[in-house]
Amino acid sequence: MITASIFFLLLGLALLILGGDLLVRGAVSFANIFRVPSFLIGVTVVSFGTSAPELMVSIQAAFDNVADIAIGNVMGSNIANIALVLGISVIIKPINVNPNTYRLSWWIMLFSSLLYVVFILDGVLSVTEGLMFLLGLVSFIFLSIRYISYSDDTPAETQNNSFWLAFLFFALGSVGLYFGSELFVKHSVLIASYFGVSEFVIGVTVVALGTSLPELVTSMAALFRGQNNISIGNLMGSNIFNVFAVLGITSLFQELKLKLTLLYFDFGVMIGVVLLFGLFIFIRKKISRIGGVLLLFGYLAYIFITVT
């Protein structure tokens, strides 16, 4: 039983990664066809594509009545996006940043994280609060298009400019994400039960890490292509999307309830990594290898404390 669950867990993870990658390739191709600035691509289209696994996993968790997976998935994924993904990326290739490019998105990312903490303090994320999250998502997209599209940023380049090929990537990616999320959530819960590990711990570690892999692959690929704005924008937009869209949409299917004792430590870590990210951007104006090591060490410490 456990061997089969591990196999299907890995199969689900593979489908999630493949589906996320295809969805991103289609999204970037669409954006390139319409000549959209690269940071706007990263913070909206690409980040929404790489966050699609979190959305599918959380919705599936809601249908399976395991709110711990949905909440833990978003919390752990937001921490992993900055501490793990950004940490590994800048260890490989340090990034010089222009604070003006990222200012709006960083403030919205911080606001979404704080709003999430406020909404969940009563232990329930209601339908009304979910609708407010979706309103925040619409506002974020509007502000991004309004202000980022008029920046001096340049459009990203892709090899694929075919509309129908981009559409095919979208379709195949969506199918992979759906079936991958179903397999991943189901067998994560089975493995957690087998080893006596709580669903919340599985959510903030295994599930969150698995659904953050598309961000990692995309961000590193963007860095190697010299598209730093896509890499940073992907991580910022993904964290915003996780709160506003993933939790907003998921809560429409079912109110999400959780014991607050599980969240206090994770709340602090999530807000802490966002503030540290801001320190790198606005004070140092560079994310060096030392900063990457600090982020990665912090993530490993977080995982160790969470599990033990």
**Structural Rg of the chain based on CA atoms:** 18
Tokens at residue 23, please?
Answer: 């969805």
Tokens at residue 95, please?
Answer: 């990034």
E-assigned strand segments in 112-221: 124-125
The mean-pLDDT minimum among 79-93, 185-199, 268-282 falls in 185-199
Task: Please report, for the domain that includes residue 69, its CATH number.
Answer: 1.20.1420.30
Judged on CB neighbours under 10 Å (0-12, 13-18, 19+), 18 is middle
pLDDT, tens digit, for every residue of 276-301?
999 988 887 788 889 899 999 999 89
Which band of pLDDT confidence, cut at 50, 70 and 90, is reported for residue 152? very low
Give the SS3 label for residue 96: strand
pLDDT, tens digit, for every residue of 107-124?
999 999 999 988 888 878
Domains in the chain, number: 1
Separation of alpha carbons 242 and 208, rounded Å: 11
pLDDT, tens digit, for every residue of 227-249?
778 788 889 999 999 999 999 99
Tokens at residue 18, please?
Answer: 């493949």
**Confidence at residue 211, expressed as pLDDT on a 0 to 100 scale:** 67
By the 8 A CB rule, do 57 and 199 touch?
no
pLDDT, tens digit, for every residue of 186-216?
787 787 778 777 766 776 666 666 667 777 7
**Confidence at residue 111, expressed as pLDDT on a 0 to 100 scale:** 96
Tokens at residue 103, please?
Answer: 């200012």
Indicate if the pLDDT at residue 261 is higher than 70.
Answer: no
By the 8 A CB rule, do 151 and 15 touch?
no
Phi, psi of 263 (to 5 degrees): -105, -25
Domain assignment of residue 283, given as a range: 2-307
